[in-house]
Amino acid sequence: MLNNEQLAAIIEAGYEQRGVEFKSAGNRTDRAFFAIVARAVLALANQRDGGHVIIGLSEEGIDAAGSGLSDEQLGQWLSFDDVSDQINAYADPPVRVQLGRGQLPNGRPVAIIEVAEFSEIPILSKKDYPQRITAKQLYTRSMAKPESSASLTQNELREVIALATEKQLARFLETAQRVGVQLGPTEVTGARDRFADQIRQARDAGFHLDRVLPQMVTTIRPETFNARRIPFTELLPAVQQATVRRRGWPFPWVQHPTNGRNWVGEQITSMHPETWQFYESGQFYDCRAIEQFGPDSDGFFDDREPISGYLPIWMPVLHFTEVFEFAGRLQRLLFDGQRLRVELALYNIRRFVLVTAHPRRSGLHGTYAYNDDIWDYEIDLSTEDGLTSPRELAVDAALDLLQRFNWRGVTRELLRGIQVEVYGPEQT
């Protein structure tokens, strides 16, 4: 669910995104208005990662008359049973939604409908509402501009078909593994130095974050080096299609990309500093600053040694989940089933300590500190794992990291619980 900081970042961007739709204030009991909301929900459910409908946010700005809900309107939109039933009166099969309250930067309240992507087959509209929804249509979000429409181009239709195909293939692979069918790995050929040269050149050219910042670094690359593996014109569309939007801030952030000699990429210096590049060689590189957090108010810290920063336990779990999801999508889009090497690293984290950084959880009962500058982790991602196991892979990586803080209380079940809390249960 979007938090207020993420909501502010979306508003700061100044316009709707493909995964977010704004609706001015309105009553849930207004049938014509609700039909517009339902159409947006159906469209978001038919795109990868779903999205969010923000009710009470006018496209004219946060201070416009249509921004902000009354207490009565907010109560209407936070009634889960009523909202879910009314939406699913238009949806076949049913759509999965969650509801939450948000606050605009000026203090006005809004309601947020978080929409999950479809579970098995795309969602069709079940019934008509005049000039709002037409029955038996497949609505989705346009790639040309952020609007909900049943007028699909070949690009939107391909995305829906690809997503449905992936879900069926994932179920086939899971069934095959349960009955003992093993799919063999491909041969690994190393090209680490040549891939590393590309990143060094980018850093030397100034395309990087300040190297002294605490930061999380992700590298995704194929097994062999081919400088012209991917046509240049396919780089940006592939990143845009693979972008993970399961939370309010996508991985990676694609807003105003730039081009280099053999890469596309972007640098963001405000709100959430990040640099990413995707090369014709097939190498993807992302570097993002670790956000600044303070200590938990009820945690315990031994102040005999200096503390340089605070790492929320949920941060690596969620970040790694989105990294593996993104890597799996790139793998299916561009690499024809080849294995990919995924490398994760945290830099400049000496004397960082763990915190919960969660308003509904108490602080940790000890000082769990990291006593080195760097943590790194790597795996070879098979096609099957990229499709079926991003959450499991993320838990493995986060467990490796958090155990090195000497936190013996961390468990797989705890980390899986964080994933479920944010992303919902895994689809079966």
pLDDT at 387: 85
The correct CATH number of 4-164 out of 3.40.50, 3.30.950, 3.90.550, 1.25.40 is 3.30.950
pLDDT, tens only, 304-328: 778 999 999 999 999 999 999 999 9
On the question of pLDDT at 179 being above 70, the answer is: no
pLDDT at 174: 63
What confidence category does residue 176 fall into, taking pLDDT thresholds of 50, 70 and 90? low
How is residue 220 written in tokens? 């995704």
Higher pLDDT, 303 or 43: 43
On the question of pLDDT at 189 being above 80, the answer is: no
pLDDT at 187: 37
Top-confidence range, 241-250, 354-363, 397-406 = 397-406
Higher pLDDT, 272 or 35: 35
Give domain limits for the chain: 4-164, 192-423
On the question of pLDDT at 206 being above 50, the answer is: yes
pLDDT at 188: 41
On the question of pLDDT at 62 being above 70, the answer is: yes
How is residue 412 written in tokens? 């797989």
DSSP code per residue over 265-326: EEEE-SSS-EEEEEETTS-EEEEEEPPP----TT----TTS---EEEETHHHHHHHHHHHHH
| CA 79 and chain centroid, separation | 26
pLDDT, tens only, 257-283: 999 889 999 998 877 889 999 999 999
What confidence category does residue 186 fall into, taking pLDDT thresholds of 50, 70 and 90? very low
- Cβ atoms within 10 A of the Cβ of 100, count? 15
Phi, psi of 196 (to 5 degrees): -65, -35
pLDDT at 428: 53
HSE-CB of 426 using CA atoms within 13 angstroms: 16
> Which of 100-114, 159-173, 240-254, 383-397 is least confident?
159-173
DSSP code per residue over 177-242: HHTT--PPPPPP---HHHHHHHHHHHHHTT-S--TTS-EEEEEEEESS--TTSS-HHHHHHHHHHH
pLDDT at 90: 94
pLDDT, tens only, 94-112: 999 999 999 998 899 999 9
Look at the pTM and tell me if it is higher than 0.75. Answer: no
* Mean of per-residue pLDDT scores for the chain: 87
On the question of pLDDT at 417 being above 80, the answer is: yes
Alpha-carbon dihedral 99, 104, 109, 114, rounded to 10 degrees = -10
Could you give the CA distance from residue 50 to residue 117 in angstroms, rounded to a whole number?
Answer: 4
